[in-house]
């Protein structure tokens, strides 16, 4: 009798659905971590938290064979955070960004009374106050341009990664006949109609939702 009870207990543990096993995906704490990283990005505008949010969402994804009454709710929460990341990317993407307009590596200072200074020279080495001030202004403007360029360049690389990541999530987490749930999730998001349609089209192209 005791042996039978032990066997039943072991069997019960082994048959737990994968969404309930935190060490094998489906960890809701990861979804909460992703939400915190999204909020940190919105506060600091540093891309590192947004990248961490993506990593947390990948870790939180349930397997396609996940079972249980909370699976749909779990899937929806993960999807909402994916869309929150995509929304932040769209909100911070500069439509006028020109990747060919690269910042200067070393600015050449203005000529001062016939004296030409080498690029990258310390402003304090320029005795003429007006020329020095002009050079400092150029350095500040180029620094800001460099920061904007790096941010927009990294944001576009992240965008491609996130779009692919959301597509993979949909393919793993949704089954045939559940397309309407995904459409509803997108409709309720803050994404533009163009972006929502693009995400739907991506999954249709790989054969999901036809």
What pLDDT does 15 receive?
Answer: 30
What pLDDT does 174 receive?
Answer: 83
DSSP structure class, residue 190: S
Say if residues 134 and 112 touch (Cβ distance below 8 Å): no
* Inter-CA distances, 193 with 21, 88, 121, 196, Å: 36, 15, 50, 5
Q: Domain residue spans in the chain?
A: 15-100+153-205
What pLDDT does 149 receive?
Answer: 97
What pLDDT does 158 receive?
Answer: 97
Between CA 135 and CA 193 the distance in angstroms is 46
Nearest to 57 by CA among 90, 88, 80, 41: 80
Residue 22 sits at the vertex; the CA angle it makes with 24 and 31, to the nearest 5 degrees, is 105
Residues of the chain with pLDDT under 50: 1-25, 64-65, 67
* Inter-CA distances, 60 with 29, 78, 139, Å: 8, 7, 44
Q: What is the pLDDT of residues 180-203, one digit of tens each?
A: 888 999 999 999 999 999 999 888
Three-state DSSP class for residue 65: coil
**pTM of the full structure:** 0.78
What pLDDT does 207 receive?
Answer: 61
């Amino acid at each position: 009798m005791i042996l039978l009870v032990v066997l039943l207990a072991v069997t019960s543990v082994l048959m737990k659905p994968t969404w309930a096993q935190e060490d094998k995906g489906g960890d809701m704490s990861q979804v909460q971590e992703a939400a915190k990283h999204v909020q940190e990005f919105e506060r600091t505008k540093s891309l590192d938290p947004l990248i961490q949010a993506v990593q947390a969402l990948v870790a939180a994804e349930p397997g396609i064979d996940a079972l249980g009454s909370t699976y749909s709710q779990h899937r929806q929460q993960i999807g909402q955070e994916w869309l929150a990341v995509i929304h932040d990317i769209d909100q911070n993407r500069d439509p006028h960004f020109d990747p060919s307009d690269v910042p200067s590596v070393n600015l050449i200072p203005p000529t001062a009374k016939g004296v030409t200074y080498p690029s990258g020279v310390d402003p304090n080495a320029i005795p003429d106050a007006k020329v020095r001030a002009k050079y400092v202004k150029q350095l500040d403007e180029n620094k800001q341009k460099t920061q904007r360029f790096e941010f927009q360049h990294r944001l576009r690389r992240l965008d491609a990664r996130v779009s692919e990541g959301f597509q993979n999530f949909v393919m793993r987490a949704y089954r045939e006949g559940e397309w309407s749930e995904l459409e509803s999730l997108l409709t309720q998001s803050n994404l533009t109609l163009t972006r929502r349609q693009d995400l739907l089209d991506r999954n249709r192209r790989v054969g999901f939702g036809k």
